Structure 1
Amino acid sequence: MLSRVAQQLYWFARYIERAEDMARMINVHTNLLLDLPRQHEFGWDSLLEITGSDELFNELYDEADERNVIRFLISDKANPGSIQSCLFFARENLRTTRDIIPREAWELVNDMNLFLKNNMPSGLSRRRRWGFMKNVIGGSHQITGLLASTMNHDAGYDFLRLGRNLERADMTTRIVDVRSADLLLEHDVLTPYENIQWMSVLKSLTAYQMYRQHVKMRVRGPQVLKFLLQSESFPRSFTHCLQQVHQCLETLPGNDSLLRQVLSLRRNIKEADMDKYAQAGSGLHDYIDQLQAQLAELHTLITARYFSLDVSHVKMEKTAES
């Protein structure tokens, strides 16, 4: 397989996953604000922190209110991480590799781009936002399911899985880091709502129902962290994503340094004490930073080993690592 094709499949999967994750986070955050007391302004800037785009936002907008943040995250073409930009980049990466993937996948990607173009006002409206985001999430699931059931599970599919699972692992750490920050501080106003906030951490990753099946007890910080970071069975947990990445790399040539990096990450997360990290002042933020740095290093190793240097992807890669 040409390195250019491998790179495009890898990035296509990352952008589809990123668009889906963004849609889910916006929906969950919108609902969370309705559950918290009015005297506590949870704010919209936490979404900017999760995506690592707060600096770019501040260059383009004066105030981080709902209207500006939603527009920035959904439709702003100046934001390479907006839903519209992600789906555009996904289409561009797939456009020149249409002979590798099923024709139906290309049609679905085009349908999603047309849906965004024709229904953008719905995403910006709080009243119609939930349905808009549901369509983005559903379209992403359709593409992922179609590729899993109709594409040859060869090297090309391995690069798709690599991109998707690295993006998932990165987003999981970002959500845990930012969403739990308020929960690990002393807030007299928010203390009675701690359960609701931990639930929002789970719902941001569509993990609430699976958590209840697995843990069988009320939502508590240590159990949430263990489930989202250490579960081997939940598809969006950090550990499960690493398992998938390991499986993909095992089938690819020249994988020694890559497998060592994955094993180091898996050992790091397995040995972590989540009961300690669920306490105030525990250093969870610093620990998550370590995980993200190791993920960025893994991405760099994959790029150096398998992909040719392509200037058009430099900006996108820096965005993914930020």
Structure 2
Amino acid sequence: MLSRVAERVYWLARYIERIENTARLTKVHAQLMFDLPKSVEMSWYGLVQITSNEDYFAERFGDERSEQNCMALLLTDRNNPASLMSSLWWARENIRTTRDILPREAWIHINELYLLTKQRQNDFNERKKRNALLSEIIRACQAFTGMLAGTMSQNETYHFLKLGMYIERADMTTRLIDEGGLYVSQQQFDNEEDTYFASILWAHLLRSISSYFMYRLQYQTEISGPEVLQFLTQDEHFARSVNYCLHEIQGVMSKLPNSGALQKQVQQLQNRVLSEKALSIGSDQLHDHLDWIQRELSELNSLLYNTWFNPKQVA
């Protein structure tokens, strides 16, 4: 398999996962702002922070942190590589140039999704229409992932798809936890009513990554921050927890050549994630821990490039 083809397949999966996560995050954030009282401060700018686009936002919009500006940056700005439309465009380009190794239906599916979203781009300006379009995008991404899982051979192409998907998923999960912790740390939940609203916040966080139902099956008590943190970082069975993603990444890497150093790094990261037991929601220690995981995933991406996509030439 050519390294440039493997790279495009890897990024195809990352972009599809990013599109779905961005759509989920935006839709759930809108609902959360309706459910929480005015005393609980929340803004659309939190979505900009999750995607680490503060500098770019300031450059383009300054201090105008309106819903319209935040949605433009997060959903439609083609100059922002983390925006939904930018991710969708790049996903389409990557699958267009790898059509010879992927099911034909996969190209048709993504091309139709791109054309649909581009045609209805103005729907992002109106909240009701935006949520309806985001729901369609989420279903389309899920259908695409399921299509590949059910129709592809478990070969190197599929391994690189899974690799991209789980690295992107682990990174986004840490960002969501960090943002939820930030909201909690900014509030004064010192009475029973406010504690109830904290539970609403964590419930919406779970819903943003489709983990609410599985969480409730495992924990039969009231939703609490520490249990949400444990579930989303250390659970070994839930498909979107950081630990599960790292386990899957290591399993995929074991089936690819020259992956010894990569597997070792993933194992070290997984051990560190599982060893953290005393982190509290909204604390600086938790923020630093999640930030460290994100840096490690970025380092893993760089090592992955040096191993498979842009290996150093030996004289």
TM-score, normalized by the shorter chain, greater than 0.5: yes
1:248 aligns with 2:249: no
Summarize the Cα distance change of 1:259–1:47 in structure 2 as closer, same or farther, 3 Å threshold.
same
The alpha carbon displacement at 1:111 in A equals 0.7
Q: What is the aligned length?
A: 307
Change (3 A) 1:284 1:118: same
The aligned residue for residue 132 of structure 2 is 131
Match of 1:265 in 2: 269
The answer on whether the counterparts of 1:74 and 1:84 sit within 8 Å (CA) in structure 2 is yes
Distance in 2 (CA, whole Å) between partners of 1:53 and 1:75 is 14
Partner of 2:103: 102
Answer yes or no: is 1:213 the counterpart of 2:214: no
Aligned partner of 2:176 in structure 1 is: 175
Moved more, 74-83 or 27-36: 74-83
Q: Which runs of 4+ in 1 moved over 6 A?
A: none
Q: Kindly state the Cα deviation for residue 113 of structure 1 after the two structures are TM-superposed.
A: 0.4
Distance 1:282 1:42 in 2: 20
In 2 relative to 1, CA 43–256 (structure 1 residues): closer, same or farther, beyond 3 Å?
Answer: same
| Worse-matched range after superposition: 17-26 or 200-209 | 200-209
Could you tell me which residue of structure 1 aligns to residue 288 of structure 2?
Answer: 286
Partner Cα distance (1:260, 1:157) in 2: 22
Contact kept in structure 1, 2:78 and 2:86, CA below 8 Å: yes
Task: Report the TM-score, using the length of structure 2 for normalisation.
Answer: 0.94
- Contact map agreement 2:181 2:281 (CA 8 A) in 1: no
In the alignment, structure 2 segments of 5+ residues that lack a partner are none
How does 1:179-198 map onto structure 2 within 5 Å? 179-188=180-189, 190-198=194-202
Taking the aligned partners of 1:36 and 1:109, their CA distance within structure 2 comes to 36
1:55 aligns with 2:55: yes
Q: Which aligned pairs between 1:84-163 and structure 2 lie closer than 5 A? A: 84-163=85-164
Where does structure 1 lack aligned partners over 5 or more consecutive residues? 310-322
Letter in 1 for 2:100: D
Q: Within 5 Å, which residues of 2 pair with 1:72-87?
A: 72-87=73-88
Partner SS, residue 81 of structure 1: coil
Structure 1 Cα separation of the partners of residues 50 and 149 of structure 2: 28
Correspondence for 1:229 = 233
Alpha-carbon distance in 2 for matches of 1:105, 1:149:
12
Q: RMSD of aligned C-alpha atoms?
A: 1.5
Q: TM-score, normalised by structure 1?
A: 0.92
Identity among equivalent positions (%) equals 39
Q: Which residue number corresponds to residue 70 of structure 1?
A: 71
Secondary structure at 1:286's aligned position in 2? helix
- What is the aligned partner in structure 2 of residue 312 from structure 1? none
